[in-house]
């Protein structure tokens, strides 16, 4: 049950899931050799960070299905970042966050 709950939280709130996993386990210590990659992953690409940690802990590396999981994490992160820029352009919002009126 806790594993399913963490998975659902990670799907909707990846940074919260990363923080709680870091706080209560050594899951990321087993996946990453340094502390800089988890920090950068937390800030910029949380789904990729989670996918890499799962691949390293469950699959033993980026091979086979775990490589696909990692690539999906990258694509989801890039889609989340790119989607906001596309939405801003579609709604005519300038760089100051103000809506342009034609």
101, part of any domain: no
Q: If pLDDT is split at 50, 70 and 90, which confidence band does 1 have?
A: very low
SS3 45: coil
Q: If pLDDT is split at 50, 70 and 90, which confidence band does 102 have?
A: low
Residue 50, φ and ψ in degrees, nearest 5:
-65, -40
User: pTM of the entire structure?
Assistant: 0.72
Name which residue leads in pLDDT, 100 or 5.
5
56, part of any domain: yes
97, part of any domain: no
- Residue 70: Cβ within 10 Å count: 22
65, part of any domain: yes
Q: What is the number of domains present in the chain?
A: 1
What pLDDT, in 10s, does the model give residues 65-100?
999 999 999 998 888 655 666 665 666 666 666 666
Query: Which residue bears the tokens 């820029």?
Result: 85
Residues whose CB is less than 8 angstroms from the CB of residue 99 and which lie 6 or more positions away in sequence, other chains included: 91, 92, 93
Domain with 64, as residue range(s), is 2-90
């Amino acid at each position: 049950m806790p594993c399913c709950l963490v998975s659902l939280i990670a799907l909707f709130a990846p940074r919260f899931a990363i923080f709680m996993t870091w706080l209560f386990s050594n899951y990321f210590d087993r996946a990453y050799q340094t502390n800089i990659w988890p920090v950068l992953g937390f800030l910029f690409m949380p789904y990729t960070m989670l996918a890499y940690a799962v691949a390293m802990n469950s699959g033993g590396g980026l091979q086979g299905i775990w490589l696909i999981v990692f690539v999906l994490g990258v694509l989801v992160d890039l889609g989340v970042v790119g989607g906001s820029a596309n939405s801003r352009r579609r709604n005519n919002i300038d760089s100051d966050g103000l809506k342009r009126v034609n």
